[in-house]
Amino acid sequence: MKLLNATEVDLVGGGCAEHCWGDASWAGAAGAAAGGAVAGARGGIAGVALGALGGLVGYFYGKVGDTRSS
């Protein structure tokens, strides 16, 4: 395994954060969570929590999929 110097690390340009997650943002994640929470509101507090979690998973899975397909 080779150790990299500072110049070589700068050339990588973000690594996985840039190449795996694409243009994922906290605003998009919050919107997906809020949408899922609203959709799950009929199921009470558990429905809200599961809906928000489902929205987040869907958002980030979609970002990874978009990045890998390009």
pLDDT category at 62 given cuts 50, 70, 90 is confident
pTM of the model: 0.57
Look at residue 11 in the predicted model and tell me its pLDDT.
Answer: 63
Would you say residue 68 has pLDDT above 70?
A: no
Round to whole Å and give the CA distance between 10 and 24: 21
Would you say residue 24 has pLDDT above 60?
A: yes
Q: Please, what is the end-to-end C-alpha distance for the chain in angstroms?
A: 29
Q: What residue type is assigned to position 68 of the chain? A: R
Q: Check residues 55 and 26 and name the one with the higher pLDDT.
A: 55
Q: What are phi and psi of 5, to 5 degrees?
A: -90, 175
Would you say residue 21 has pLDDT above 60?
A: no
Q: What residue type is assigned to position 9 of the chain? A: V
Round to whole Å and give the CA distance between 24 and 14: 14
